Structure 1
Amino acid sequence: MQVSHSPRAMSVSFDEPNLIASAGLAPIMDLARTAGLRELADSWLSVPTDKGANAGLKIAALVAGMAAGADSIDDMAVLRHGGMKRLFSSCYAPSTLGSFLRAFTFGHVRQLDAVASRFLGNLAKQAPLLRGPGAEGFVFVDIDDTIIEVHGYQKQGSGYGYSGVRGLNALLAIASTKDTAPVILAQRLRKGAANSARGATRLVADSLATLGRVHAGSPVLCRFDSAYYGHAPVSAALAGGAEVSVTVRMNPAVKRAIAGIEETQWRTIDYTDAVFDETTDTWISKAEVAETPFTAFSSRKKNEHVCGRMVL
């Protein structure tokens, strides 16, 4: 006979009918209502069969659940705790929301992208997300990917990418200024083994179009690391009216450009914080920098060359 038992799982529910556990949820969802989240989802989403009915209400419920801390379908039960039923006109069961999401195809994901882009534009009308009137300087758009670790071999799309961790790969476009917090302009969830640059060209174009809705008129600088050094992403950024800062890969053209820099062109700079070099067992507090004209993608047709300057 076993006297002491350890439960395999435990759940906690908030059952006070006159209170809600997430005090900040009401103003968040009121802001979502003012920005037209439900109406946008009803207009743009076309999920078939009864699973796609009332798309606006279901999208609003999913947003509310995530704002309240839900990170799985089962966690959406948080919307049925306490006084939530008095706060929301429709409290869907987690299984209903799960069936709704499982009916999505990639086309519906693109429809949801359209909802998110327009919703962000409406939010910007309620409050300046990036900067107030009269502010100067660049709006920075950073493109990068991240690995979302998952567990279990049955997780659809999971795989081992460049990090060696089993997960999914998310590609993000984030806008920021020197004075404001970052704002996610666009995102794409990909297989875990996806190449970093996969889909980046389309994401760059989408993010710059969204930025035009959120904050138009300021100069834009797109920043990429070497994983996105390619003609397609760079040309997409330039076509969208942005300037580009990209880390170039070391290739013969780059080596020739570096070799052509004269010794007198190098300038010494001081680091704000010294860096310890384990190879030489010394602290490094200075470096030398230089810049030189550089034509990227010179192996392509002449009208596809991109002229700029290379900083080393």
Structure 2
Amino acid sequence: MQFKHAPAAVSAMFDDPNLVSAAGLVPMLRLARSVGLDELAQSRLSVPTDRGANAGSKVMALVAGMLAGADSIDDMNLLRHGGMGRLFDRTYAPSTLGSFLREFRFGHVRQLDAVASRTLVNLASAAPLLQVRGGERVMVDLDDTIVEVHGYKKQGASFGYSGVRGLNALLATASTTSSAPVILGQRLRQGKTGSPKGAARIVGDVLATLRRMNIGSSVRPLLRADSAFYGHGTVGTAIKSGADVSVTVRMDPAVKTAISSIPEDGWETIEYPNAIRDEATGRWISKAEVAEVPFVAFRSRKIAERVEGRLVVRRIPDLNPNKVEQPTLFDFYRHHAFFTTTDKQTMGTVAADKTHRAHAIIEQVHADLKGGPLAHLPSGVFTANSAWLVLAVIAFNLTRTAGLISDRAGRLARATTATIRRTLITVPARLARSARRITMHLPAAWPWQAAFDRLFTATHAPPHVSTN
């Protein structure tokens, strides 16, 4: 592509009061309102009146800014340009929204958690967010990530397990083979917080949310997590809440003893579709073997608290030449084991291993959020940043729903937030008024016009009238 005109022949002026840069906010906020986001926030948030007046409208404004690409308080000025005041009421100044967030306390964040949970349940009734086929499980993935921060005035920021100064965000997602992940729950914690802290509480909350979504699956959901969450609190809560677990285990003596009991002919070779890079040696490995053995987790606890299941083990050739002088159990292989309560008849050894490795899908959600609202945690107040995380999750689930409504069988149904924002939300428009009606004139030959039209039509449909 080349520039068509001489530089002197082109000029720029910011003088049109009828233009907007994000016309897609119209159907997006209609969607948010149709699932009751503003009413839920208004009725449930008890932020002090002097700063918390019109809480529903302020929550909607913050979510709208995130939908349009805001990753800081100052970016909320995206809502105050051109004809935005003709489309939306109460386009608050960034300073007003920042003051609102700083009034949050821990209890208010938990109230906002409840708003996010109920909004997701309502979104699930508006669109099939989690589509399950016969006998399919819903996968619930749990993991935390460090959100890097800069400066020394961020409450709770410290150096965590990653060696990066930041705050710790714990997320739980739900997905199926035919549905992209949605976020069931979230919690912001201090940067130095250990991964399992508070995990049992969030597991109970998100599984309750999943039940309220009424997905229609007759199979127990499966909680997947890494070894940081292998503990009786997390595993026991998941089982009591009606879920199975698939959790990586640490190589403690009990696990090593169980692995050593596997006969050599019990290993089954599996081929990876692509080679994987060995982090310890930097070399590529293209195949591995798996086996399993019955296992009782938490054997040191009371009998009633022990959990019976199976230990599934994957082994790969140990290519690390730096061996210890004394012989060990694992001279030729490195072993990766996880504990699962799934039934072998319905999920064999190879299937269980493949299913467990798919837990990495939650890393894509982490990256998605960090490429948007979580690029920064904008406040020095910890509870304000906690509320910011919850609002970012609401915005994420809204974009996931919009992508599904607009293009259920196509690319947008599983697209990232950035793609949905680029194709459906940040669409420029010129406003025209006639006979008390506003018409948005959008770009001709917009490549995603059909998807935008489907979203716009679905969110502007007249309410259903009951004949009973």
Query: Given the two structures, how large is their TM-score scaled by the length of structure 1?
Result: 0.91
Q: Please show how residues 1-312 of structure 1 align to structure 2 within 5 Å.
A: 16-131=16-131, 135-218=134-217, 219=219, 220-275=221-276, 284-312=285-313
Deviates most, 214-223 or 163-172: 214-223
Deviation at 1:216?
Answer: 3.5
Which 5+ residue runs of structure 2 have no aligned equivalent? Answer: 1-12, 314-468
Distance in 1 separating the partners of 2:277 and 2:75: 46
* Residue of structure 1 equivalent to 2:411: none
Deviation at 1:70?
Answer: 1.2
Distance in 2 separating the partners of 1:156 and 1:204: 26
Distance in 1 separating the partners of 2:281 and 2:171: 38
Report Cα offsets for 1:191-228 as digits up to 9, x if no partner: 11111111111111111111112244323110010000
Report Cα offsets for 1:243-300 as digits up to 9, x if no partner: 1000011111111111211222122222322346698897533322110000000000
Aligned CA RMSD, in angstroms, stands at 1.9
Deviates most, 53-62 or 210-219: 210-219
Deviation at 1:73?
Answer: 1.2
Distance in 1 separating the partners of 2:198 and 2:266: 38
Report Cα offsets for 1:2-58 as digits up to 9, x if no partner: xxxxxxxxxxx9763212111211110000010111110111111113111111111
Q: Do 1:261 and 1:292's aligned partners in 2 also have CA atoms closer than 8 Å?
A: yes
Deviation at 1:233?
Answer: 0.4
Q: Do 2:131 and 2:215's aligned partners in 1 also have CA atoms closer than 8 Å?
A: no
Q: Do 1:169 and 1:189's aligned partners in 2 also have CA atoms closer than 8 Å?
A: yes
Distance in 1 separating the partners of 2:68 and 2:277: 43
Q: Do 1:14 and 1:81's aligned partners in 2 also have CA atoms closer than 8 Å?
A: no
Whose RCO is larger (CA < 8 A, sep 6+)? 2
Distance in 2 separating the partners of 1:280 and 1:24: 48
Q: Do 1:14 and 1:21's aligned partners in 2 also have CA atoms closer than 8 Å?
A: no
Deviation at 1:230?
Answer: 0.2
Deviation at 1:82?
Answer: 1.1
- Aligned pair count reads 299
Report Cα offsets for 1:162-200 as digits up to 9, x if no partner: 111111110000111111111011111111111111111
Q: Do 2:130 and 2:215's aligned partners in 1 also have CA atoms closer than 8 Å?
A: no
Which 5+ residue runs of structure 1 have no aligned equivalent? Answer: 1-12
Q: Do 1:147 and 1:168's aligned partners in 2 also have CA atoms closer than 8 Å?
A: yes
Counterpart residue type for residue 178 of structure 1 = T
Q: Do 1:46 and 1:108's aligned partners in 2 also have CA atoms closer than 8 Å?
A: yes
**Fraction of identical pairs, as percent:** 66
Counterpart residue type for residue 187 of structure 1 = Q
Counterpart residue type for residue 17 of structure 1 = P
Alignment CA distance shift 1:234-1:15 (3 Å): farther
Distance in 1 separating the partners of 2:278 and 2:113: 45
